[in-house]
Homo-oligomer: A and B are copies of this chain.
Amino acid sequence: MPSSRPASTPSARQGFLEAPLDKAHAEPLQRQLYRRLKEAILEGKLAAGSRLPGSRALAQTLSVSRNTVAIAYEHLVSEGYVRADRQGSTVAALVRPAPREAQPEAGPPSRVALRLSRIRSGPARLDPSTALRPGVPALSHFPLAVWRRMLDHAVREASPAALHYGDPFGQPELRAAIARHLAITRGVHCEPAQVIVTEGAQEALTLCVRLLTNPGDTAWVEDPGYRGAKAAMHAGDLRIVPRRMDGEGMHAGAADWRSRAPRLIYTTPSHQYPTGVVMSVARRLALISAAREHGAWIVEDDYDSEFRHYGEPIGAMQGLVADAPVLYVGTFSKTMFPSLRLGFVVMPARLLASAQDALREMLRGGHSHEQLAMAGFIESGQFARHLGRMRRLYRERQHALREALTRHLRVPHIIEGGQGGLHLALRLPRDFADTRIAEAARRYGMAPMPLSSFAMAPAPEDNGLVLGYGNTAMELLDPLVKRLSQLVLSAGA
């Protein structure tokens, strides 16, 4: 450090440094000074290597205490704007990044992001109140007052330890309640330890993909089928093979198993989404058998089995055969409300044993209060009561929707998928392009989804509409369907 440097440093000549600080301002003086100096250094007004005035001198100039200057300097030193040595404080040499424009664009997002951004996700941002939108439960019929009480009770009664992450697999109370509920209603055989609570069904699917597959592995999906499952598989960089259904559900022969055996099979056997086909027990057993033989895993998404309108509820594949290679996925998004983001996956016991450690790294736990409230909701019988009420409501709405279609729709059509759930699939002749109808319907506040948008390789018969009746009031169904029928007709014109 040259001791011959003049006493008057370069910076001392800068007028901005000597301008008085604002003593009336809420911001403390040392903070004002710190910011003034920091900005001057970043803007290059104080050049690299230049010396700052001594703290005593600057304090005098600014009429502040020497301590004020010392604190500002110390902070600049701790962040590296200034270097301190025995001679005093020197402005550090900083690379000043060139303006944004002069530099190459930061690279594009990942391949997975590109692929996901190409999924046509339809009217995703639509208001849930949009009529005929599939997948939305009757939001205004949810017993919010009861839920508030349960949630408040959980927050009040939980120990401070419940504020921590908790069990990454979910609160034990909720896992036990789910296991009991599934055993009674779905014939699912499991211990509470096999139930893993997730952020809705979507995290359950992501977990299955991450746990069981490597990039490039083959996955079978029903086609047309649930798009969320495909998104999870795209994210896992899987080779997705669409499989057609017939009246008995997804079809796969020995040749399919030979030529492109999957690592993962995604299916909705109880009520195929969106066509409503029920997979026959022969197909179920054959699928389980072949999956075992080839070391594949079946992900059984039982997304709307709670709302069975006709006949007895169909038991889950998971419970059909002891120790089946089936991961059973469920969600409370339809039975409670979507924003709750609670779902679960029931893992085969042997898989769980070998995947325990990996799962602990993949899951974080949390949401203890909501999970405890949900457990209370089930155990108190409120859940069963709510399900009963909603089952009746949805059955009535479906009935009204069918009647309205019969009354107004003057185009040949087939209605499918009404044995349960919150939607019907309406097949239309291919001249009546479903995408065009769906687009026209949006202008009238309706959001039926084009059936073809569920298919990876749409066949001619995949033309139609998926009509949700979960969140559309009874009295609206007739006038809406009347309007929709006109739109169908004009689409064919």
Residue of B nearest to A168 (CB): B124
CB distance from A299 to the nearest CB of B (A): 13
Alpha-carbon separation in the docked complex, A369 to B94 (Å): 46
Pair B148/A155 contact, Cβ less than 8 Å: yes
Pair B74/A351 contact, Cβ less than 8 Å: no
Which residues of B sit under 8 angstroms from A381, Cβ to Cβ?
A: none
- Report if A215-B200 is in contact (Cβ < 8 Å); known contacts: A278-B78, A360-B121: no
A475 located at the interface, meaning its Cβ lies under 8 Å from any Cβ of chain B in the complex: no
Which residues of B sit under 8 angstroms from A291, Cβ to Cβ?
A: 106
A96 located at the interface, meaning its Cβ lies under 8 Å from any Cβ of chain B in the complex: yes
Pair A140/B112 contact, Cβ less than 8 Å: no
Which residues of B sit under 8 angstroms from A339, Cβ to Cβ?
A: 162-166, 365-369
Number of residues in A with C-beta < 8 Å to the partner? Answer: 124
Pair B285/A109 contact, Cβ less than 8 Å: no
- Total copies of the chain: 2
Pair A79/B31 contact, Cβ less than 8 Å: no
Alpha-carbon separation in the docked complex, A104 to B311 (Å): 37
Pair A358/B92 contact, Cβ less than 8 Å: no
Which residues of B sit under 8 angstroms from A322, Cβ to Cβ?
A: 100
- Report if A361-B117 is in contact (Cβ < 8 Å); known contacts: A92-B281, A339-B369, A366-B199: yes
Alpha-carbon separation in the docked complex, A324 to B42 (Å): 14
Alpha-carbon separation in the docked complex, A237 to B162 (Å): 33
Interface residues in A231-279 (C-beta closer than 8 Å to B): 231, 235, 237, 248, 263, 278-279
Residue of B nearest to A118 (CB): B357
A192 located at the interface, meaning its Cβ lies under 8 Å from any Cβ of chain B in the complex: no
Interface residues in A190-209 (C-beta closer than 8 Å to B): 199-200, 202
- Give a binary string over A313-352; 1 marks a CB under 8 Å from any B CB, 0 the rest: 0100000111111000000000001111100000010110
20 residue pairs from A and B, CB less than 8 Å apart:
A74-B311, A78-B419, A92-B281, A93-B282, A96-B289, A100-B292, A103-B292, A106-B291, A106-B292, A106-B351, A109-B211, A109-B354, A110-B214, A113-B211, A113-B212, A117-B355, A119-B361, A140-B160, A142-B163, A163-B339
